[in-house]
């Protein structure tokens, strides 16, 4: 059993959640590019800026994990739960997350990062 700080748990969870957010954003960007929107560019620009912002956040989280000798691995998954294994120096902690909780949190993060990217875009103008 690992004794992890709140900060370490937050960073480990970011490495779980942020790739999911990126995957959704990349799919959405493709949908905007292939869609029949009259004015695609504002949507594509917002999604691309959001992708860039999320990638920076993910890189920071991964850097934190490397510096603190932490790793996260995906364990088993079923219809209701996904398992993630947190590792530090051969000690491990297995945590199960409800797939519904994962989806809802990713949706919240998506809203947060889209709003953040929109703020940044608005400040640049």
Mean pLDDT of 40-64: 95
Angle at 87 between CA 84 and CA 91, to 5 degrees: 125
Q: What's the domain range around 44?
A: 6-124
Identify whether 1 is part of a domain.
Answer: no
Q: Is 100 exposed, middle or buried (0-12, 13-18, 19+ CB in 10 A)?
A: exposed
Confidence of residue 120 (pLDDT cuts 50, 70, 90): confident
Identify whether 26 is part of a domain.
Answer: yes
Identify whether 59 is part of a domain.
Answer: yes
Count of domains forming the chain:
1
pLDDT of residue 124: 63
Q: What gap in Å lies between CA 113 and CA 116, rounded to an integer?
A: 5
Mean pLDDT of 9-20: 97
């Amino acid at each position: 059993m690992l004794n992890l700080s709140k900060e370490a748990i937050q960073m480990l969870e970011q490495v779980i959640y942020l790739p999911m957010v990126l995957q959704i954003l990349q799919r959405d960007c493709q949908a905007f590019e292939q869609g029949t929107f009259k004015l695609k560019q504002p949507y594509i620009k917002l999604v691309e800026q959001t992708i860039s912002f999320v990638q920076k956040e993910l890189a920071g989280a991964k850097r934190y994990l490397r510096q603190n000798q932490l790793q996260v691995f995906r364990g088993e998954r079923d219809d209701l739960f996904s398992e993630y294994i947190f590792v530090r120096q051969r000690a491990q902690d297995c945590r199960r997350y409800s797939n519904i909780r994962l989806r809802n949190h990713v949706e919240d993060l998506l809203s947060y990062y889209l709003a953040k990217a929109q703020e940044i875009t608005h400040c640049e103008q």
